[in-house]
Amino acid sequence: MCKSVTTDEWKKVFYEKMEEAKPADSWDLIIDPNLKHNVLSPGWKQYVELHASGRFHCSWCWHTWQSPHLVILFHMFLDRAQRAGSVRMRVFKQLCYECGSARLDESSMLEENIEGLVDNLITSLREQCYGERGGQYRIHVASRQDNRRHRGEFCEACQEGIVHWKPSEKLLEEEATTYTFSRAPSPTKPQDETGSGWNFCSIPWCLFWATVLLLIIYLQFSFRSSV
């Protein structure tokens, strides 16, 4: 069952995991919808989760869709003297492409997905704020190349200049093939580089000779009937 991405849900998972990772320090997590990518105050660090997966629900037309291109932005700060830190977080939204509503909709996700994302956050936090080796990042299914084209015009992260989607080689090959077959032949290019350019086995020529043959047969029958 999907749960809405609420402050309480994220805080619950974050506090539990930070208690294990850094029990001597106090950390706070704040949802900040105005957080800007690469706009940092002095001393703050940034981590961007580019490959989260979530389900969106349009509040206008009730359309739902799954997206493997959910972007989450984190800004982190540690006050070593006070042994206290703060994390600000923004989950980027998407527009509904069915009804075209201008209302940006929030996502929902499974609790185990939230835990994996928090693990990645803490890994980055330990590396950037504590100078430690945080460990390995979890690789989500959504981080793999996707065979479907991402509709960036409906994505809040794309509109703010965050590049987080890369087309798969398969998709690029399909688009290249479609483009090749849709192009009209060049008028200056010879139809047959090795011959005279006339193809007597083509469909138009076959139709022409069939018409001539039928005409000859018709004239023979007409002549015999008149005799």
The answer as to whether 93 is a domain residue is: yes
How long is the chain?
Answer: 227
Of 127 and 183, the one with more pLDDT: 127
Tens of pLDDT, residue by residue over 207-217, are: 788 888 888 88
- Residue 177: strand, helix, or coil: helix
Residue 187 lies in a domain: no
47 within a domain of the structure (yes/no): yes
**Within-domain flag for 147:** yes
Q: Which of 62, 64, 63 is nearest to 54 (CA)?
A: 64
Mean pLDDT score of the chain = 79
pTM higher than the cut 0.85:
no
Residue owning tokens 């009209």: 184
pLDDT recorded at residue 180: 47
Highest mean pLDDT among 73-82, 153-162, 180-189: 73-82
Let me know if residue 190 belongs to a domain.
no
Residue at 227 is within a domain: no
| Phi, psi angle pair for 186, to nearest 5° | -70, 130
- For the chain, the domain total comes to 1
Domain-embedded: residue 69: yes
- If one compares 63 and 181, the residue with the highest pLDDT of the two is 63
Mean pLDDT along residues 163-178: 55
Q: Where are the alpha helices (DSSP H) in 27-132?
A: 111-129
Q: Is the dihedral of CA 56, 57, 59, 60 positive or negative?
A: positive
Query: CA nearest 124: which of 68, 53, 44?
Result: 44
Convert 71-112 into a string of H (helix), E (strand) and C (coil): EEEEEEEEECCCCEEEEEEEECCEECCCCCCCCEECEEECHH
DSSP run (H or E) holding 165? none
In a domain, 151, yes or no: yes
- What residues make up the domain containing 123? 5-166
